[in-house]
Structure formats: C-alpha cells, structure tokens
C-alpha cells in the first residue's frame, strides 16, 4: 500500500508543478490523474467483449484461452 500511495503523491506533485493552466485546473488534474489508466482498462475490456461478440472465432478462442487458464491456475 505505501508504494501505491507514494506513486499517487508523486503524480499529484507532477500535476501541480509541471502542468500549464490555472491553479484550479492544476489541482483538478493532479487529484484526478488515476482515472486515466482506469479508463484505459475499462475501454480495452469493453473492446475485447465487443470483438468476442462481433467475431465469433475470436470469441471462441478467447473463451478457450480463458478456460484453459482457469483450469491451469485452479
């Protein structure tokens, strides 16, 4: 947990000191910067599900890989 906290604090400092804009914009960017990577993960997950529906072969391969990984790791 401390590593994640240090990473967040580092991002806040970078956002406050190295970005252009008014102080209110800097503060908002500094406090909300972790939303970017989270949005990336959610977007990629949605695109993978959409590809599985749109391209059944991809969906079957994805399901097979997921099933094999689940079986191997449990």
Specify the pTM: 0.55
Per-residue pLDDT, 7: 82
Taking phi first (over 0 means left), then psi (-120 to 50 degrees means alpha), and beta for anything else, what does residue 25 get?
A: alpha
Give per-residue pLDDT as tens, 1-50: 788 888 888 878 887 888 788 888 888 877 787 788 889 999 999 999 99
Assigned token pair, 17: 């000191």
Buried b (16+ CB within 10 A) or exposed e, 10-41: ebbeebeeeeeeeeeebeebbeeeeeeeeeee
């Amino acid at each position: 947990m401390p590593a994640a906290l240090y990473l967040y604090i580092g991002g806040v400092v970078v956002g406050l000191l190295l970005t252009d804009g008014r102080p209110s914009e800097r503060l908002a960017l500094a406090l909300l910067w972790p939303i970017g990577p989270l949005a990336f993960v959610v977007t990629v997950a949605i695109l993978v599900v959409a590809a599985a529906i749109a391209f059944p072969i991809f969906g079957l391969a994805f399901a097979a890989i997921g099933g094999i990984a689940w079986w191997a790791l449990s």
